[in-house]
Amino acid sequence: MAGALDGVRVLDLSRHLAGPYCAMMLGDLGAEVIKVERPGVGDESRHWGPPFFSGESAYYLCCNRNKQSLTLNFKHERGLTLARELARGSDVLIENFRVGVLDKLGLGYADLKAINPRLVYCSISGFGHTGPDRELGSYDFLIQGRSGLMSITGEPDGPPMKVGVAIADVAAGLFACNAVLSALFARERTGVGQHLDIALYDSQIAVLANVASNYLCSGEIPGRWGNAHKSIVPYEAFQAADDYLILAIGNDEQWQRFCVAADVAAWAQDPRFATNPQRVAHRETLIPLLYGLLSGKTVAEWLQLCAEADVPAGPINAIDKVFADPQVGARGMLVQMPHPTLGTVQLAGTPLNLSATPAEMRLPPPLLGEHTDTILSHLLALDESAIAELHRDGVV
């Protein structure tokens, strides 16, 4: 069955995580994705490790399935010419070079728009293509700090803390994918493409969501709450008899059901705890009571009790337990793909579930330059001697 983006060609000039993550999602949805890499070096994430799986970086593997790898040397004029020819026949281009670099190489939006007005050209950078910091390079960690995310992450009396995944990169990749899909939809009406300017900094500020809104509405600078929630109680992790669990009670009805199920029905009527604003105001009294209560049963016992009472609760799983979870298997969030050198590679699946045009895992993350000759032959109509010359001259 054809994917939603069947017939769309994506030229992926990006490296690291944000751009490749965006391109991978487009590939999952059926687009043909050509990943352009430096000869002999490739995407820098190929070298980010350990862990390595038979020489392949686990980091690289996470965001590069459903792509073909082509090596091109942008320091060689013929490499740039080949890139322009590929852009002429592409629907989408994704890049995350420093602002202005591709313009100097003749691969900027204005250059490629002139030869392909329908091109959707997606630029992903640390700070965007406007503003005083547009030329600054950046990584996810720096964005997490500058965006304020680290100031609200960690224990109240502890140091600022980054999120355990590269959330600024992932968020930018998600926003970029959304923008690309929107631009392709707009192109159906207008017939022309456009330039998309996606910044990690912008993306992470947008992800602040309710925390940003709280500050903008109140003027109060948010702090760190650890696993607790400033506005909802109880909504945090508690130590049970054997491990930690999360109790996430989002309304007063859930609180009343929990109190009855936990045999503390009087708490539901206590004027200090009856409503969420009262529970927030009396947090320092209620939370120690809950710690004492929850320590009396195991996590499994509490999860069963809460499930029967329709009260949101859950475990805090290590990653091995996540991928052993039957729900993960049922949802296809663990996939196994044949790989030319690894035998079989296991990857996290896609959350993109479409009933009529389902996402598909067609190609494993490619080896460096694995598809160079095929792309040059099939898409650019070069013969064997021309391709051999490009290899000999270090163009590919």
> Active-site residue numbers?
169
Closest among 371, 370, 330, 369 to 349, alpha carbons compared: 330
Identify the helix (H) or strand (E) that includes residue 363: none
Provide φ and ψ at 64, rounded to 5°: -135, 20
Let me know the angle formed at the C-alpha of 181 by 179 and 186, rounded to the nearest 5 degrees. Answer: 90
d(CA 386, CA 56): 30
DSSP state string for 242-286: SSEEEEE--SHHHHHHHHHHTT-HHHHH-TTTSSHHHHHHTHHHH
CB burial string 268-284: b at 16+ within 10 A, e below: bebeebbebebbeebbe
Tell me the CA distances in angstroms from 189 to 6, 64, 186, 193, one per residue in order: 19, 31, 5, 10
Q: Which residues contact 225 (CB under 8 A, 6 or more apart)?
A: 152, 156
* Exposed / middle / buried, residue 261 (Cβ in 10 Å: 0-12, 13-18, 19+): middle
Residues found in the chain:
396
* Residue 358, number of CB atoms within 10 A of its CB: 17
d(CA 331, CA 231): 32
Strands (E), the chain: 9-12, 32-37, 52-53, 56-57, 68-71, 92-95, 120-125, 195-199, 235-239, 244-248, 313-315, 334-339, 343-348
What's the number of CA atoms in the CB half-sphere (13 Å) around residue 36? 25
**Residue whose structure tokens are 């769309």:** 8
105 DSSP assignment: T
DSSP state string for 71-101: E--TTSHHHHHHHHHHHHT-SEEEE-PPTTH
